[in-house]
Amino acid sequence: CHVNFTDPDVPADTLSYSLHGSDSADFRVDNLTGNITTEVSNVDAESSKNQWNFIFRATDLGGLSADTNITMSIVDVNDHSPICNSTDGQTGSQMLVHLEEETSANKTLLELACIDLDRTNANNVLSCSGNFSTYFSLEFTGDKCILHLKANQPIDYDTSP
């Protein structure tokens, strides 16, 4: 961030800049240019403070100053992938399902609970898709983020491909 002040009494290069207020410790200002940089090592809307308020002060050689109140806010971006865990304790990008012979139709074979850690709702839209042939179907309950993989017909080891 850069804040620009002018003083009609003196050349611009004779102004000095400083930050004040409780949140100012998280930022640094270049005393000569007025450029503001963060001292926070990881600015992330989901894991850090998401708004700071501080005062930016420009002071001339005669000691006169002008203050500007600054509010610095984090804009959330879609930077987290959804995380899915199965109800049987499996995690990760691949799940293993063991089917018993004679598994009946409409039996839930795998249930996944999926979450997205992004803070804003616009970044938390989950969907699911896949090619499950005639043997399986996918059911998505968006309000609960639960995924069901179901058998469409009985599974028989001797007759199913």
Residue 112 bridge partners (DSSP) = 86, 147
- C-beta separation of 3 from 57 below 8 A: no
Distances (CA, A) of 161 to 34, 133, 134, 135, 156: 70, 11, 11, 10, 9
71-126 per-position pLDDT tens digit? 988 887 787 777 777 777 777 777 777 777 777 777 777 777 777 777 666 656 66
* 48 Cβ contact list (under 8 Å, min separation 6): 40, 42, 74
pLDDT computed for residue 70 by the predictor: 92
pLDDT computed for residue 3 by the predictor: 66
127-159 per-position pLDDT tens digit? 666 665 666 676 666 655 555 666 777 776 676
Answer yes or no: pTM beyond 0.85.
no
Query: Is 52 strand, coil or helix?
Result: strand
